[in-house]
Structure 1
Amino acid sequence: MTTPEPPPLAPLPPAAGPGDAERRLHPASWLFVLLQNLRQFIVPLIVLLVAGRRADDGPAWLPLIGIGTLVAVSVWQYLTFRYRIADDRLVVRSGLLERSVRQIPYSRIHNVAIHQSLLHRLVGVAEVRLESAGGTRPEAQMRVLRLPEALALEQLIRDRGRTDDAGSPQPASAATPGDTLLALSTAEVVKLGLISNRGMIVVAGALALAFQALPDRTAGRWLVEGGREAFGYANAFAATWMAKTLVLAGAVALALLAIRAFSVALALVRYHGFRLLRQGRRLTVERGLLSRSRSSVPRRRIQAWTLREGVLHRLFARRTLEIDTASARGSDGQGQQDGRGLDALAPIATAATCDAIVRDVAALAHWPPTHWQPLHRRAWLRLALGAWLPTTVLCLVLGWFFGRWGLLGLLWLPWSAFVAHRHAARAGYAIDTAMVAVREGWWRRHWRFAEIGKLQAVELRQSPLDRWTGMAALWLDTAGAQPLAPPLRLRFVPLAEAERLHAALSREIARRPLRW
């Protein structure tokens, strides 16, 4: 299924000086700001509406006042927002009573994100978000611009903000479509939906919301009644306990299949038409079925990499490649988890494709490492002790209250020892003059690596169990990290080796300039 080509770029001035006129947003911008505000305040408005209906003399017009206030605020924001394009920066002016003028150099913009919901696409507009490193929110968020103007602004920032690794400006070039590093077909997106667990997460969130929002334990009552009806159907179709068990197991299997189908649908909505493009020194990701998003980031802003491989990944011979960038986090502190940021370069791809992207983008000629250093020879014991101690204490407490039945949890100890042994046998680390890499996990595997020039600090840690077993851990910090990304750390290393690596990496970090 082909992805439609973007519309032609609207003309922007080659240079803008102090005397150039400021630009407004799209005339329908206030409507999209209103819709965003309604999403944030929908719960309080519903509470006011319900309270107004329940009270005998309650103020039922309170929700209307709230909506009217949001409309006034949205129109106010549209009327007071201006932006101007200068030679080396973007100037954003907003506010009337409390005025602000924000000047954003093009070279400091790390990520340009263009988002189109279904309503955006119907109106022919897009939301533009400009992010820089380390901020708690975007430097500028324009709701909304005409789509050609949004794409032209993205191209202008890409050209005028182009710098080399030393930070020197590079000359602008004509817009190019870029080289496609990865394009996901519909079949690959379906595999991604089967692998991911997003459908289960959404269903669990919906159940939690139902328990909180519905009055008088309505959700719990529905679940109990549904369970009784299901058990009644099982009694009607089966006479023996074995047959009833099979019927109920089939019902659970159908529910799991429905949830997995829901995961596939969510993957199609989010990743349909996924393309990873290399456009000069920037990477651009396009994706989405109903809502289209386009996000780009300079390659040198990538701070760390993560390869993931779960059980279902191995079933389909696929992996996921994610990155950490030094771009702004969302106002909620959750980073780019709203689905608009450039976080996954390859949501699903073969191992060879992921490795090729790493070698191309990170310029790591020796990825993957040919030799991994093993952990301490007793690393499995250190891992097992971390599980044995709390499990034993918990089982002893349960045994005190429930007798021998409470001690059945001790049967978990052999399995945890087996898992620890498998984990320690597979884990390892690799360090050379260019990068630091760690691999961990057995059931669910991941590889975590970063260029040495991206490291900010290295810390040597020892827990009481580490000191008892003669081990240590090295924790490495970079400029940015995804909230759900595993930490970059070398665990269960012999103490003498950890101290040597700590000293060597500290010298390298102090000697090399930070590249972010």
Structure 2
Amino acid sequence: MNRLHPLSAAAYALQYGFLWLSVASILTLLLGGIFDAIESAWVSLAAPVGLVAGAAYGIAYYYRFEYGITPDTFDVASGVLARRSREIPYERIQNVDVRQGVFQRLLGLAVVSIETAGGGSTEAALNFVSESEATRLQHQIRTRTAEVKDRRRGRGRPDASAADERSPATDEASSDAETERTSAATDPDEPAPDDDGPTAEPDSTDGTTTSDSDPVSDGRDRVAGPDSRGPRREQLFALEARELLLYSFTSFRPAAAAALLGLFFFATDLAIDLLVSAARPFGGPANLGEGSPTSYGILTVVSVVNGVVTAYVLSVVYTFAAYYDFRLGRAGGDFVYERGLLQRYSGSIPVEKVQSVTVTANPLQRLIGYAGLWVETAGYGPESDSGGSQSAVPLADQGRVHRFTETLTGVESPRFRSPPTTALRRYLARYAIVAALVVAAAFAVAQFTPLERWYLAAVVFVAVPPAAYLKYVNLGYYVGEGHLVVRRGFWKRKTTVIPYYRIQTVSTRRTVFQRRLGLASLVVDTASSRSFFWTSPTIYDVDLKDARDVHGTGRKRLQTALRERARADDSGLTIDFT
């Protein structure tokens, strides 16, 4: 069994020391308010005692924390007073992520997180190990996980050859092909066929290739030494500087708005003074308590504009720092990625855990012809922006992303069907009701405030027809031979490709208004994680007959895909990404 890096002892000592210091101080103050015998001055004694006790506990926790790699499991033992031992089977491990903050990178340390399929949180976290140890653990666990999958597939196919076990990415590998690859690797003029498909020429856009004989990854992609046996890592996609800037300026992170609100609550007085000062040149009040309704209206407008601009700037900075030097690679049956400027992330996306693939693009990105590619994985998705959604290609040329999607999933070019025009009339009525509520709210405010021209709020009715039309034209679905494709959304249009064998349930939902119009919506559920921003793909407002046809077709093709996949015993997805 191994121990963490020695600096972990100092980190745990500080962490638990300050935690126990805070608890001792707060507890002393609370008890002092209840019992007269306890004085508030005792905090000066309780605080250092809590600090020393917490530091001692942190050091003891370091010496009691052990981990090790065994042939079948990754073992972790921890706990000072209550001992806890965990044996994590390799077949259950989904991700091995490495995270480095600013100070950790300066000190050469890293945090290794072990994620298991279906887990709601990190199964085991190693705080901290050296960079070399983190790389070794990540590589060895991935290698052993791949070996477990190979053995399992070998048991499912008694006639599997040794070449099949050595190359799990293909079911048709042979010793002759292995010999050809070996000879081609020694001959620079002879291209070598890829294990996962035909040889791909390097992409002039990012200089990547998928040929095993000509890997483009740098030294960080390989682990030197005797433990470097196993899947070789190859680079499939690299986010260029231009794409990084476009992605930063054309996307918005809700976390930026949350951070701005947090800063406002922590420094309310300073924030209000700054907002008043910013609005004063435009006619805002001289002081917060001295002003007219007009000046307060100007203050409100200026404050909203400043808030939006500040949140946008924070979003640009956050996105740039989070996706700096983004690289997607391939290691055996996993996609592996690295990203981050201040905090460096390194993780994996198991191909067999991929439930669906989604192409996303907001109006700005569509205007310049760019899009992003996300994958939904089963279970917990660590270090992702939204639950089990993980970015495979943050931003690239739209045509290139579509080719990636078709190659990854094998889906044919979809021919989308739109909802009936009855749905458009429904959206017109829906947004008209929303506009009427806005006018009613303005009228109600005018009854209790000096607001006079409340009727000007009726201008929102002008936006009703374009809003209804934009919602309608961005909806569509395609029922393919092996995949169901769902498109929806205007502000962030998502086109989701779902293999039939990944579908868990297809449910038909009808509201009161949909029943009156003869419409229905189909919700397609997979085993992937969902969040507020990533909900289940839904086919909205189609004719009831069409909804039933799609439901029945999907069910039949699901059974067919499951039978075919059981015979083929493969993941159903290719990882030849070009």
Q: Do the structures match in fold with TM over 0.5?
A: yes
Distance 1:167 1:195, change over 3 A: farther
Structure 2 portions without partners, runs of 5+: 31-38, 155-164, 168-227, 287-299, 566-570, 573-578
86-95 or 254-263: which moved more?
254-263
In structure 2, distance between residues paired with 1:337 and 1:63: 38
In structure 2, distance between residues paired with 1:493 and 1:147: 53
In structure 1, distance between residues paired with 2:14 and 2:43: 24
- Selected match of 2:274 from 202, 220, 223: 223
* CA deviation profile, 1:281-312 (whole Å, cap 9, x unmatched): 11011112232211012112111222221122
In structure 2, distance between residues paired with 1:413 and 1:233: 30
- Selected match of 1:462 from 510, 518, 522: 510
Match of 2:229 in 1: 174
SS of corresponding position for 1:59: helix
* CA deviation profile, 1:382-434 (whole Å, cap 9, x unmatched): 22333333443453465466479445444423422322123213421011232
* CA deviation profile, 1:73-123 (whole Å, cap 9, x unmatched): 432332222122211211222224322221111121111111122222222
Q: Which has the larger radius of gyration?
A: 2
SS of corresponding position for 1:129: strand
Aligned residue runs from structure 1 range 96-107, under 5 A = 96-107=80-91
Pair 1:94-2:78 in alignment: yes
Match of 1:308 in 2: 360
In structure 2, distance between residues paired with 1:439 and 1:166: 39
Structure 1 counterpart of 2:469, which letter? H
Tell me if the contact between 1:81 and 1:93 (Cα under 8 Å) persists in the aligned partners: yes
Match of 2:7 in 1: 28
Match of 1:113 in 2: 97
- Selected match of 1:183 from 231, 235, 238: 238
SS of corresponding position for 1:378: helix
Pair 1:213-2:266 in alignment: yes
Match of 1:13 in 2: none
- Selected match of 1:381 from 396, 410, 425: 425
Could you tell me the TM-score, scaled by structure 1's length?
0.78
In structure 2, distance between residues paired with 1:252 and 1:389: 26
Structure 1 portions without partners, runs of 5+: 1-21, 236-247
What count of residue pairs does the alignment treat as equivalent? 471
Match of 2:340 in 1: 288
Tell me if the contact between 2:18 and 2:54 (Cα under 8 Å) persists in the aligned partners: no
Structure 2 counterpart of 1:493, which letter? V
In structure 2, distance between residues paired with 1:76 and 1:227: 53
Deviation at 1:167, TM superposition (A): 5.0
Match of 2:540 in 1: 491
- Identify the structure with bigger relative contact order (alpha carbons < 8 Å, sequence gap 6+): 1
Aligned residue runs from structure 1 range 436-455, under 5 A = 436-455=484-503
Match of 2:126 in 1: 142
In structure 1, distance between residues paired with 2:241 and 2:308: 22
Match of 1:4 in 2: none
Aligned residue runs from structure 1 range 255-274, under 5 A = 262-274=314-326
* CA deviation profile, 1:126-155 (whole Å, cap 9, x unmatched): 211111122111221111222222212212
Tell me if the contact between 2:21 and 2:51 (Cα under 8 Å) persists in the aligned partners: no
Deviation at 1:194, TM superposition (A): 1.1
Aligned residue runs from structure 1 range 47-446, under 5 A = 57=41, 59-60=43-44, 64=48, 67-68=51-52, 70-162=54-146, 167-168=152-153, 170-171=165-166, 174-175=229-230, 177-198=232-253, 201-202=255-256, 204-214=257-267, 218-219=269-270, 221-227=272-278, 230-231=281-282, 262-328=314-380, 336-337=384-385, 343-362=390-409, 364-366=410-412, 368-369=413-414, 371-393=415-437, 395-396=439-440, 398-399=442-443, 402=446, 405-446=453-494
Structure 2 counterpart of 1:145, which letter? V
Distance 1:40 1:353, change over 3 A: farther
Tell me if the contact between 1:135 and 1:329 (Cα under 8 Å) persists in the aligned partners: no
In structure 2, distance between residues paired with 1:458 and 1:185: 39
Q: Percent identity?
A: 25
Distance 1:136 1:441, change over 3 A: closer
Could you tell me the TM-score, scaled by structure 2's length?
0.70
Deviation at 1:328, TM superposition (A): 2.2
Tell me if the contact between 1:456 and 1:479 (Cα under 8 Å) persists in the aligned partners: yes
Tell me if the contact between 1:189 and 1:272 (Cα under 8 Å) persists in the aligned partners: yes
Distance 1:195 1:441, change over 3 A: same
Distance 1:502 1:33, change over 3 A: farther
Structure 1 counterpart of 2:6, which letter? P
Tell me if the contact between 2:17 and 2:53 (Cα under 8 Å) persists in the aligned partners: no
Tell me if the contact between 2:104 and 2:110 (Cα under 8 Å) persists in the aligned partners: yes
Match of 2:290 in 1: none
Distance 1:38 1:197, change over 3 A: farther
RMSD: 4.0
Structure 2 counterpart of 1:495, which letter? L
SS of corresponding position for 2:82: coil
* CA deviation profile, 1:163-216 (whole Å, cap 9, x unmatched): 669952644893455332211122221222111224x853x43442244334xx
Tell me if the contact between 2:100 and 2:344 (Cα under 8 Å) persists in the aligned partners: yes
